[in-house]
Chain A
Amino acid sequence: MFLRMIRGAFARQWKKMLIIALTIMLGTSLATAMINVMLDVGDKVNQELKTYGANITVLPKSASVMSDLYEVEGSSDDTGSYLLESEIGNIKTIFWAFNIVDFAPFIDTNVTTDGGSETRLVGTWFNHHLDLPTGESLDAGVNSLRSWWDVDNGSWIDEQALEEDERAAMVGAVLAKREGISVGDTIHVKGAEGETELKVQGIFDSGGDEDEQIFAPLDLVQELSGKDGYISSIEVSALTTPDNELAEKAAKDPGSLTIAQYELWYCTAYVSSICYQIQEAITDSVAAPVRQVAESEGAIMDKTELLMVLITILSLIGSALGITNLVTASVMERSNEIGLFKAVGARDGAISGLFLTEILLTGLVGAVAGYFLGFGFAQIIGHTVFSSSIEMKPFVIPIVAILMLAVTLAGSIPAIRMLLRLDPAEVLHGR
């Protein structure tokens, strides 16, 4: 009988139920989209911000002292001021290895080109394939670390595709223009320890100093400068947690922390703890955050998440208000029916149960539809804002379900209270 009554109610009032379902659908879709985007956005925003460059620079200890003392950037010819190429992979073995998104080693040397001008030749990884001691493997290098470079002419260097003796290079746009270099040309460069021919595979526009430079595979430059197995710096891009007091204190001197504080700090992805761990992994190195970028990443993420939380809350309040209105109107309209149920002896619980079942069933339909709509919204947001799809996490489903259940029940409270207060004698005799 209960089912017949529910079915009858739906059959007769499907229009009203549909509107309630639509309200719940909208609320659900917004909540679903926002929560999913929010959970995925951390990675997205970081990937987005990563394009502004590495957020940690690793230098040899002496070079870093030198640059601190004399405020000069870059390498010196002192052999003590190099890092070991063989240790680069260690970066991916630290506690926060998963937060290391990308990295690339650098070594540079001054060369003379055919045109007679002195230029900086930078050796680095482009998409270097790396097999880690952990058994994992990855591709790291400037192709993704410098993803903001405009390579309109030619292409990025694909290290895996290079022939054994192929000597490829990418040339900065300013230098290329000045020397009349174009893609496919072979240029001759002369360094301290030798000279070589380079085939220009791409011309890039970085919008900065690098437009005056030539980029070539690491081993080639090491050979040309006689620094086999050495590198002068590493740039690392990592996902970090915004700094707090603990992180600031630790950044000054990790030794000043208590053991518990140290553990907490070490096991949180603060930029300072990641730097610290990189220093542990690479002999005689100093890892330092590129402050601005690291901080703005955290701050922007915080703000984006706050915004999404607000939108979610507002949309839920909106749905609750909508549900309140619709359900109250429906109860008012059906007051005769409710009065009659009471008159034939229905208990309060039985009548509220009937109405709640109707509302919850309607809500369920709306919520399921809303989830899929929210999936669509999330993808639209993902593609328009972050130009990538949003991963839908399954555990969002119960979260949204509980939220919507709470919202639907909360929205129905006024109507149910009205229903319980309703006096059958008042409505049935139609005074």
Chain B
Amino acid sequence: MSLLELRGISKIYGDLKALDNINLSVENGEWTAIMGPSGSGKSTMMNIIGCMDKPTMGEVLLDGVDIAKESAKNLTAIRRDKIGLIFQQFHLVNYLTAVENVMVAQYYHSLPDEKEALEALARVGLADRAKHLPSQLSGGEQQRVCIARALINHPEIILADEPTGNLDEANENIVLDLFRQLHEEHTTLIVVTHDPEVAEVAQRTITLEHGRIKSDEINKMFGRN
């Protein structure tokens, strides 16, 4: 059984089909990139997978459970336990230090554990930045805090919506290296991107257009660069 399976998913806003009959399955440990022009439905799909939105039609099976039928409260619980989110704008809490931002996710999940949070920061190479406020960190550093926060509760899937959209090349590479590392540790990654360079390092690339899957390809170059 796949970790994630979308069956006949549609999301309709008025007479706009943001997603139109999407069928897709993602295996455990897979690294998938989702591409497509602006407005093609990428974020909509991520929101549905990330339990922040529900499809108008279809089933979303996560670990065999149809999350499209769950109540908002249960969705919050599923998101808390199974999903790690990485955002284009990082969304760090501006009055909390780096380590506290990681601990926020622990706090709302179970119990904050500063030692574990510091380890997570060390893993993304920010051990010496733990006590800095977001405003004292560079964009790349902020995104790494965001990644540490997404990882802290050991989610089953990491969802990243344009994670490198606000980063320069050097920081983009740092983030991609982290993704590689996560992939080697068998973390399931779904990364939305505009950027072909970000997409081509993934195992598989799905391209959306007008809410439909235009292509779904295995990246033959995967692992060689």
Residues of chain A whose beta carbon lies under 8 Å from any beta carbon of chain B: 1-2, 4-5, 8-9, 11-13, 336-337, 339-347, 350, 423-425, 428-431
Contact = CB atoms under 8 A, between A and B. Distances in A.
Contacts of B96: 4-5, 8
Contacts of B53: 425
A346 B108 contact: yes
Interface in B40-77: 43, 47, 50, 52-53, 73, 76-77
Contact of A425 (B47, B106, B107): B47
Contact of A8 (B73, B79, B80, B95): B95
A1 B107 contact: yes
Contacts of A336: 89, 91
B108 A345 contact: yes
B50 to A, nearest CB: 8
B105 A344 contact: yes
Contacts of B73: 347
A342 B80 CA distance: 9
Contacts of A4: 96, 100, 103
Given A8-B96, A428-B89, A430-B89, 4 more contacts: A5-B104, A344-B149, A345-B77, A350-B108
Chain A to chain B: the 3 pairs with minimum beta-carbon distance, closest first: A345-B80, A12-B95, A8-B95
Nearest to B79: A345
B106 to A, nearest CB: 8
Given A425-B53, A428-B87, A1 B95 contact: no
Interface in B11-50: 43, 47, 50
A41 B89 CA distance: 60
B95 A343 contact: no
Contact of A345 (B76, B87, B88, B100): B76
Nearest to B149: A344
B104 A429 contact: no
A429 B85 CA distance: 11
Given A1-B103, A344-B149, A429 B80 contact: no
Nearest to B72: A348
Contacts, number: 83
Nearest to B91: A340
Interface residues of B, number: 31
B51 to A, nearest CB: 9
B104 A1 contact: yes
B123 interface: no
B87 A341 contact: no
Contacts of A337: 91, 93-94
Nearest to B42: A429
Nearest to A2: B107
B103 A429 contact: no
B76 A1 contact: no
B161 A343 contact: no
A343 B80 CA distance: 8
Contacts of A346: 76, 108
A381 to B, nearest CB: 41
5 contacts: A5-B107, A8-B100, A342-B76, A343-B79, A428-B85
Contacts of B43: 425, 429, 431
A422 to B, nearest CB: 12
Contacts of A341: 104, 108
B109 interface: yes
A430 B166 CA distance: 13
Counting chain A CB atoms within 10 Å of each CB, the highest count among B47, B81, B88 belongs to B47
Contacts of B103: 1, 4
Contact of A12 (B87, B94, B112, B149): B94
Nearest to B192: A429
B47 A429 contact: yes
Contacts of B47: 425, 429
Interface string B105-125: 111110010000000000000
Contacts of B105: 344-345
A425 B95 contact: no
A430 B108 contact: no
A4 B104 CA distance: 10
Given A425-B52, A425-B53, A428-B87, A345 B109 contact: yes
Nearest to B93: A337
B216 to A, nearest CB: 23
